[in-house]
Amino acid sequence: MTELLAGRSALVVGVANKRSISWAIADALRQHGARVALTYQGERVERDVRKLAETLGDDTPVLPLDVTDGDQIAAATSEAAETLGGLDILVHGVAFAPAEDLAGRFADTSRDGWSTALDISAYSLVELARHAEPLMNEGGNGSIMTLSYLGGVRATPGYNVMGPAKAALESSVRYLAWDLGEAAIRVNAISAGPVRTLAARGISGFSTMADSIAERAPLRRGIEATDVAGAAVFLASDLSRGVTGTTLYVDAGYHAMGL
């Protein structure tokens, strides 16, 4: 396999288990030659993340990170760069909303649920990028990417408060692209079609939605995590050196359809 990312170092945030999109991205980055550090949020997922890290190599750092804690964000980015010998790639794959705010009507979203969803799902990218910027400046190049969904630009019943959270995330990508562009750091989002992750189970009617989209997408199929990972390798590599501030759709073309 061509090592598009040989000599690059990546911090991947958001791996929870082997079905995570972030895990598929981490695995693909490693296959293309990047050194990778992973993070975990809480003891409940630490063991699974460490087992996955072992498959990437014995030298894969595994760091604790709660993205609501600014000190942990600073520590994780700094330690990843120190352990890996630099930081060239940052993958933000974190999103969360309270279960009760993903059920029922969007109009009934609680104030706390709104704040939680936007803090974890959108603001965390801003804070991670702020801490990654000086570390990436040392190499003179960098790529930051995050994961979004079509529900950020279209009303998607059942997606509820995560829709505005993804809208804020995609807007943040554009503003960060401007701020960090002077330092040759690119910032992009991947808007993936429905991927059957464990987290997706928390979205009401997810299976029906995924089946419907697979039927109506131009490619007449659904999306796998490996499809998203391929796009991530592109955005991390010099092949996308002129791409920033962009939301790249990896959804078998569904976003282009009117029905």
The burial class, CB within 10 Å (0-12 / 13-18 / 19+), for 24 is buried
pLDDT tens digits along 21-31: 999 999 999 99
* pLDDT for the residue 202: 52
On the question of pLDDT at 78 being above 80, the answer is yes
User: Who wins on pLDDT, 129 or 3?
Assistant: 129
pLDDT tens digits along 149-208: 999 999 988 899 999 999 999 999 999 999 999 999 999 999 999 886 556 555 556 677
Q: Quote the percentage of the chain above a pLDDT of 90.
A: 84
Annotated catalytic residues are: 149, 159
Cα angle: 61, vertex 88, 60; to 5 degrees: 15
Q: Hey, what amino acid is at 4? A: L
Q: Quote the percentage of the chain above a pLDDT of 70.
A: 93
Strands 89-92 and 142-148, sheet pairing: parallel
Dihedral of CA 148/150/170/122: which sign?
negative
What is the average pLDDT score of the chain?
Answer: 93
pLDDT tens digits along 54-63: 999 888 999 9
User: Position of tokens 């796009």?
Assistant: 231
* pLDDT for the residue 212: 81
CATH number of 9-249: 3.40.50.720
* pLDDT for the residue 171: 98
**What is this structure's pTM?**
0.94
User: Who wins on pLDDT, 195 or 114?
Assistant: 114
